[in-house]
Chains A and B, each alone.
Chain A
Amino acid sequence: MTELFWGFVFFFNGLVILYFLVLNGFYLGTSAFAFGALRRYALRLKTLDLERFMRTGGAPPITLISPAFNEEATMEEAVRSLLSLNYPDYEVLVCNDGSTDKTLEVMTEAFNLEPVDRVPMGDIPTATVRGVYRSRRYPNLWMIDKENGGKADALNAGINLCRSALFCAMDADTILERDSLLRIVRPFLEDSSTVAAGGIIRVANGCRIRKGIVEEVGLPRNFLARFQVLDYLRAFLSGRMGWDALDSTLIVSGAFGVFDRSLVVKVGGYSTDTVGEDMELVVRLHRHCRETRTPYKIGFVPDPVAWTECPETIKVLGRQRDRWQRGLMESLLKHRVMLLNPRYGRLGLLAYPYFFFLEMIGPMVEGLGYLSFLLTLLAGKASLPYVIAFLSVALALGIVLSISAVCLEELAFRRYPTKKDLILLFLIAALENLGYRQLNTYWRVRGTISGLRGKGGWGVMTRKGFG
């Protein structure tokens, strides 16, 4: 019996090593693809003449849909920032999702809103819309007041009232850079089969922000937020850029993504039964287009930036990562028919299995791996030098991947202006492997477990605000 147990533990340890090798192989692979893609992209960026683009038209109208729940403190500034975007033709549609605070009152007062009639052009079912308002001062600002139904429901209400061919889904507290719409719309112009595109999300903590505009970029003082700066760089510049180069973008962040309205309406809008509505929609779009043999492209554009405030406490960050993991899991399980299915091409054979086995199940394997290694070590069944050597390889690989993400940032964007920032980022790249990474694994394991138990909900996200 004991032998059988240890046999299993050894087998599991082997599995953990295999997981580790494959996962990091994928990370290195996407980083390599991202490197080539970003180099080419940086060159192409030089030909982007935004001034001319603004002047001469050809830019399709866009509706910005910003779902808001209890945002009375930040809404006015966020909307003012949206109204000052550099784009020739856009509307801002704020969806007050049954806020229990004074979001509607604050907005009405600040922007002189008046009730108006606006016919929904889409028919996605949503919670009851109580009224539609339009600003007397800014004709392109609208507000929907509806009963609470969650973020996905609020977005759906916005999509129903959207009249433009494209809409931009975002978070109420996201700050879009002034040129972000001009930049993100490019793939839609250059390839008419583009149905969705996501921009890059960057951490606003530590930046100097005035009147909804990021005036000076800097690293946050809070260490947890610093770790997340690197998280975002890795996720977007190494991960999404690499997957985009492979034409296998499976996630467009809910904080900033532009979509083809008619297709989203056709597939039924955002799903309201998942906390990962952003990923679920993208997977559903892929599935729909593949199944109906509709030519399409879903891409990632690395230069349009949306700034977001990231959590600075372990409790809130834990909740966020738990929710992300649940969202990932729900989306992947819902569309599991795509897994290793050649009908879905590269997506079904490469991207989907990666997310399924390595991002969804992976944290469980990693978490149990830590326990199993510890057990093997304590029982004297493995040599200490071997375990230390293995953990050192893991640490070194983590450092390589994080530093390569900083390198990608430097190659194309150089947002962090001082050399001190670079040194700090390198330092964080080493430190994050000693505790932060394990914490992340724990949160994701927790998310997987609560997902399996069918626990829903967003949890409370506490924000300090940009002011």
Chain B
Amino acid sequence: MERFLGSMNVILSDQFLWILGLMILVLLGLALFFAAFTFLLRLRTEKEARIWAGLKESWEPTLLEALTDPSRLNALWRKVGEKDHLHFLEFLLRYAQRLGGTERDTLRKAAEPYLPEILPLLKHRRIGTRARGVQTLGTLGLPGFADEIRDAINDPSPFVAAIAARLLAHEVGAEVASDLCLSLARFDKFRIWYLVDMVAAMGPDASPAIRETLEDPEMPVRTRAVAAHALSVLRDLASADPAARLTLKETDPEFLAALLRLLSQVGTPKHAPAARAHLDSEEFFVRSAATRTLAELGNEDDLPFLVERLSDPSTWVKMAAARGVYRLGGKATHAALTQEDPANPFFRQVLAEEAGK
């Protein structure tokens, strides 16, 4: 023990104290460095804000004039200094994100001379910079720079690629439908509704290409599910027959649910058997989709199927069945069932929903 205490004394010798002293100095230096860096950041931000405010003050009145009278664009361009081209695009972008129609066209025209300067940014090593480049070019430079934005769909970062795809869908539309549908597999990590919204944004003219994707067995099943949901959003009547056919041979539950949902939107009574065939699916969301579809497409003969679903283990299916019973059987059937089971909360909720309509 004495040896231990002795060695502790050695450790606590002057040498160790010097090391601690040095550490204190280094740490205080580091603290000062961070504090100074923070201050410099603040000063830089304030300087940038001042520059930005000055530029805005100089450009804004003329831009507002140009939005109503595009001949004023020359006057606006004269105010853009050599070093301010990217700032100017940034300035236009803020307006472009809020405006549409002819005003957006004027903004595109205003940006035209400076857009080539964005191109190097698309190859920048930083993801954020590439993304910003794609966004600026896509918002202010389409359809002129459609090829560059199309290339960006193959960017190594799915984040950049998604911005490009979304811009193409919204700004160019049906023209890029085939390319976009082909690229969907790149976005396998994205939530399906994000992709559905992107595909549906191309509008009804894109439906044939989306339908082709739906029917293509070579396409990944998730891509086909996206196509089914998008066609459902677009209410593409022509996709009802292929969707019904596919429900008979496809087995992937997510895809099946998407097809059934599509049928509920665009199907006719002749497609009701497709829904009936999946009422007993193992997956609750497929049963739920089938129940809802049957409620849309079926007739009074389907009531027993729906009533059977009222005792499904899933509350989602029960709810869909209760709504379906009300829809197909009308108030009378519903009232009779309610009388049989007055405490059934599903019936009570359906009645409340109907009353609220």
> For the complex, what is the distance from the CA of A389 to the CA of B12, rounded to whole Å?
11
Given A44-B128, A51-B97, A190-B190, 9 extra CB contacts under 8 A = A3-B5, A7-B5, A40-B126, A52-B97, A189-B190, A385-B17, A386-B20, A400-B34, A407-B38
Identify the interface centre among A392, A403, A429: most chain B CB within 10 Å of its CB. A403
Known: A407-B34, A414-B42. A400 touches B191 (CB 8 A): no
Whether A60 contacts B193 by the Cβ 8 Å rule is: yes
Beta-carbon contacts under 8 Å, A35-72 to B: 40, 42-44, 46-47, 49, 51-52, 56-58, 60
Chain B, 277-316, CB within 8 A of any chain A CB: 315-316
Contact with B along A299-338 (1 / 0, CB 8 A): 0000000000000000000000000000000000000000
- Whether A43 pairs with B349 at a CB distance below 8 angstroms is no
Distance from B9 Cβ to chain A, minimum over Cβ atoms (Å)? 9
* Residue among B34, B98, B348 facing the most chain A CB atoms (10 A cut-off): B34
In the bound complex, do residue A46 and residue B132 qualify as a contact, i.e. CB atoms below 8 Å apart? yes
**B23 shortest CB reach to chain A, Å:** 5
Do A121 and B5 touch across chains, with their CB atoms under 8 A apart?
Answer: no
Q: Which single member of A7, A46, A392 contacts B128 (CB below 8 Å)?
A: A46
Residues of B in contact (CB 8 Å), total 59
- Give 4 nearest A-B pairs by CB, closest first: A43-B128, A58-B197, A396-B27, A389-B20
- Measured CB to CB, the residues of A under 8 A from B are 3-4, 6-7, 10, 40, 42-44, 46-47, 49, 51-52, 56-58, 60, 116-123, 139, 188-193, 382-383, 385-386, 389-390, 392-393, 396-397, 399-400, 403-404, 406-407, 410-411, 414, 419, 422, 426, 429
| Residues of chain A within 8 A of B319, CB atoms compared | 119, 121
Please list the residues of chain B having a beta carbon within 8 angstroms of any beta carbon in chain A.
1-2, 4-5, 8, 12, 16-17, 20-21, 23-24, 27-28, 30-31, 34-35, 37-39, 41-42, 45, 97-98, 126-129, 131-132, 135, 158-159, 162-163, 170, 189-194, 196-198, 201, 315-316, 318-319, 345-346, 348-349, 351-352, 356
Residues of A within 8 Å of B352, CB to CB, are 116-118
Cα–Cα distance between A419 and B42 once the two chains are bound (Å): 8
10 A-B pairs with CB atoms under 8 Å apart are A3-B5, A43-B128, A46-B132, A119-B345, A189-B190, A386-B20, A390-B20, A392-B24, A403-B34, A414-B42
Q: Which of B39, B190, B194, B345 has its CB near the most chain A CB atoms (within 10 A)?
A: B194
Give the CA-CA distance A232 to B34 in the complex, in Å.
18
| Contact present for A410 and B170 (CB under 8 Å) | no
Residues of B within 8 A of A390 (CB): 20
Q: Which of B28, B128, B348 has the largest number of chain A CB atoms within 10 A?
A: B128
Q: Which residues on A sit within 8 Å (CB–CB) of B8?
A: 10
- Contact among A120, A190, A426 with B315 in the assembled complex (CB-CB below 8 Å): A120
Establish whether residues B38 and A422, one from each chain, have CB atoms under 8 Å apart when the complex forms. Answer: yes
| Bound: A49/B12 CA distance, A | 59
Distance (Å) between the CB of B286 and the closest chain A CB? 15
A411 touches B41 (CB 8 A): yes
Bound-complex Cα distance A122 to B28 (A): 55
For B193, list chain A residues within 8 Å (CB): 58, 60, 189
Nearest B residue to A405 by beta-carbon distance? Answer: B34
Which residues of chain A come closer than 8 Å to B346, judged between CB atoms? 119
User: If A403-B34, A411-B41 touch, does A3 touch B194 (CB 8 Å cutoff)?
Assistant: no
A429 to B158 Cα, complex, angstroms = 40
> Are A396 and B24 in contact, with the CB atoms below 8 A?
yes
Distance in angstroms from B50 CB to nearest chain A CB is 15
Q: Are B348 and A117 in contact (CB under 8 A)?
A: yes
When the two chains form their complex, are residues A57 and B197 in contact, meaning their CB atoms are under 8 A apart? yes
Instruction: Report the separation of the CA atoms of residues A42 and B127 in the bound assembly, to the nearest whole angstrom.
Output: 11
Q: How far is B24's CA from A400's CA once the two chains are assembled, in angstroms?
A: 11
* Across-interface contacts of B132 in A (CB, < 8 A): 43, 46-47
A3-B5, A44-B128, A47-B132 known; A407 and B37 CB under 8 Å?
A: yes
From B1, B24, B316, B318, contact of A7 by CB (8 A): B1
Nearest B residue to A187, CB-CB: B191
Instruction: Give Cα A403–Cα B27 distance, bound, in whole angstroms.
Output: 11
Chain B's closest residue to A396 (CB) is: B27
Q: CA of A64 to CA of B192 in the docked complex: distance in angstroms?
A: 22
Inside 8 A of A6's CB, which chain B residues have their CB? 5
Partner of A192, one of B189, B197, B316: B189
Do A190 and B1 form a contact, CB below 8 Å, given A389-B24, A407-B38? no
Instruction: Give the residues in chain B near A429, CB-CB below 8 Å.
Output: 31
Contact across chains for A407 and B41 when beta carbons are under 8 A apart: yes
B5 near A60 with CB under 8 A, answer no
Q: Specify the chain B residue showing the minimal Cβ separation from A4.
A: B1
Is A119 within 8 A of B315, CB to CB? Answer: yes
Q: Which residues of A contact B21 (CB under 8 A)?
A: 389
Minimum C-beta distance from B312 to chain A (A): 13
Query: Are the CB atoms of A49 and B35 closer together than 8 Å?
Result: no
